[in-house]
Structure 1
């Protein structure tokens, strides 16, 4: 819609202002001639998708191409290459005597990769739950359509996060951070497939199922302080409290049933004794 296009245009203008400020600040560290090297890498991303019906030709590196027509197709600051060590090259950093910035970007990229893997956890789990609770129970065409719309919405977010992760890893390769790359492996199409073991680890047929490598990846430093982890802890405590309450209720119901039966037996014996006494008189 026109409103959405206007909102996108405003965000692009704000992003361009941020990039301009970053470039001005970069001159203080890199000097005014930092952009003399014209051999700047483009913004290619490796598309990772779990769509097994897609043709194999789609499994390749593709560039970000403008999809709009007119001025909006020209003004796209989101694909601007900013002056980072991974973009200007290690040799150029050595010429400019700013090799200390390489270690800083490696640290930032590592944190970015941790955040992206954590987002993949969340959205893949969300997708698995949607399949289990929304898609499978849908009986009518309307409900099925709405359910699949939710799944496709989550899938788009998964695609975006996987693309950014692959770009982040590509930048780490340019920085020659081989020690870090041993932890952050390549994503494969099968890694993004929805597994029932995520939504229900105790489901039947999961004995030999294994989750992709990033499900056991340690991102404690980044996720422990996040709002999502706090919500998960609160949710876990609430569920544990609810479970303990159910266990207590079950125990009380069993005792109450036993007490009720004992009371009825006691009353029946009392009435039998009273009946025998009345009969004797």
Structure 2
């Protein structure tokens, strides 16, 4: 019943979509918690704790909404809440971390014996999971192409310890993004495996197959590995054949992957350039404020001299205002001394980065969005800034040579 899937202004489809977003944030939090566990600084621990608390509040509010749609969730969550309460009494921190809190989505409920799931809710999650799986697969293919380009660039143009280390760090970052995209795909497919039988859906298995480690190679890498091992020829991984257009996976597909990565990196470069400009302006305003504050304290001397009739009071007011003025001037001189080399360092950094392609009005919205990719497909790609042409791809070696070094590495 469609009317039964609405609570207030919220539809069950929106509720499940919110749950999937929280689930993704839980995965990211779990990965980041494991990465910084051994050698975390106080700032990293604080940031992770704030992030965990914020996510915990979101999950708590969402579970209240979830229980209004499915009363069984309240019963199922009672045992988990009791276990967490017992852990909180015995330990300084709750026994159950935020990223391990169960969200009781339909894909989890269908595998539990004796628990019924509303078919419409299962259908909503199934459709969302299919979209997430295809999006993760597309992101995985794009990142694999970017990683190949980075390897080619490193082999052809990066020499020396410093350059090689920088290139390896960049490749490691892409590898981490590949692992996260693969994990997102596997989670989505696992949910589809649970939801498929009750919805009698099987066609999705032809397009969304199990993902293995060997599938995370580009066609060129797989062919090269086979050539070196002199093995029998085998077809490319299924991820390069699933819903591919004629251009995807070819040189044009490589060009598109590099264009996306270049555009996102350029947006980050503009964002950090703006941050540096803001810091410079804040430094200038601090110095200007302290100069004004010192003059303001001096201006109070005449006011108190006119208002006070007692000689001792006038001398005390004068001494106090002069002392406060001197404190502001001392702070100003100290800041000037500490910041005296910063303009030179900032200029050196800008010179080392080279010339960042100018930003047009059309690019401002994209840069403000951070790393979020623009939607709209080819129509928005045709509106790309003419003054900042995206590198073209031509050939194996020149494929990466045209890529901007300071942005890619």
Pairwise TM-score range, normalised by the shorter structure: 0.5 to 0.7
1:149 maps to 2:165: no
- Could you say which residue in structure 2 is the equivalent of 1:179? 203
Q: Distance in 2 between matches of 1:210 and 1:232?
A: 32
Matched position secondary structure for 2:207: coil
- Could you say which residue in structure 1 is the equivalent of 2:124? 104
Q: Distance in 2 between matches of 1:182 and 1:26?
A: 32
Alignment equivalent of 1:12, drawn from 43, 52, 72: 52
Q: State the Cα deviation string for residues 61-85 of structure 1 (Å, max 9, x = none).
A: xxxxxxxxx9679453223221111
In structure 2, do the counterparts of structure 1 residues 140 and 232 end up closer, same or farther at CA, with 3 Å as the change threshold?
A: farther
Note the C-alpha offset of 1:34: 5.0
Alignment equivalent of 1:227, drawn from 366, 369, 374: 374
In structure 2, do the counterparts of structure 1 residues 71 and 159 end up closer, same or farther at CA, with 3 Å as the change threshold?
A: farther
Computed over aligned residues only, the root mean square deviation of the Cα atoms, in angstroms, reads 3.8
- Could you say which residue in structure 1 is the equivalent of 2:361? none
Note the C-alpha offset of 1:216: 3.5
Q: State the Cα deviation string for residues 180-236 of structure 1 (Å, max 9, x = none).
A: 2221111111111245479xxxxxxxxx8954222333389xxxxx61645655569
1:167 maps to 2:187: yes
Q: Which has the higher helix share?
A: 2
Q: Distance in 1 between matches of 2:138 and 2:169?
A: 23
1:169 and 1:181 in contact (8 A); partners too: no
Using CA pairs under 8 Å that are at least 6 residues apart, name the structure with larger relative contact order, 1 or 2: 1
Alignment equivalent of 1:123, drawn from 143, 168, 179: 143
Q: State the Cα deviation string for residues 105-157 of structure 1 (Å, max 9, x = none).
A: 10010111111112112211111110011244322122111111111111011
Q: Distance in 2 between matches of 1:138 and 1:3?
A: 34
- Could you say which residue in structure 2 is the equivalent of 1:214? 239
In structure 2, do the counterparts of structure 1 residues 171 and 195 end up closer, same or farther at CA, with 3 Å as the change threshold?
A: same
- Could you say which residue in structure 2 is the equivalent of 1:2? 42
1:43-62 equivalences under 5 Å are none
- Could you say which residue in structure 2 is the equivalent of 1:26? 66
In structure 2, do the counterparts of structure 1 residues 219 and 115 end up closer, same or farther at CA, with 3 Å as the change threshold?
A: farther
- Could you say which residue in structure 2 is the equivalent of 1:80? 101
> TM-score, normalised on structure 2?
0.42
In structure 2, do the counterparts of structure 1 residues 20 and 239 end up closer, same or farther at CA, with 3 Å as the change threshold?
A: closer
Q: Distance in 2 between matches of 1:239 and 1:189?
A: 32
> TM-score, normalised on structure 1?
0.59
Gaps of 5+ in 1: 41-69, 199-207, 221-225, 244-281
1:123 and 1:157 in contact (8 A); partners too: yes
Q: State the Cα deviation string for residues 240-259 of structure 1 (Å, max 9, x = none).
A: 99x9xxxxxxxxxxxxxxxx
In structure 2, do the counterparts of structure 1 residues 239 and 128 end up closer, same or farther at CA, with 3 Å as the change threshold?
A: same
- Could you say which residue in structure 1 is the equivalent of 2:287? none
1:128 and 1:195 in contact (8 A); partners too: no
2:147 and 2:175 in contact (8 A); partners too: yes
Q: Distance in 2 between matches of 1:74 and 1:94?
A: 26
Note the C-alpha offset of 1:91: 6.6
Number of corresponding residues: 199
1:118 and 1:219 in contact (8 A); partners too: no
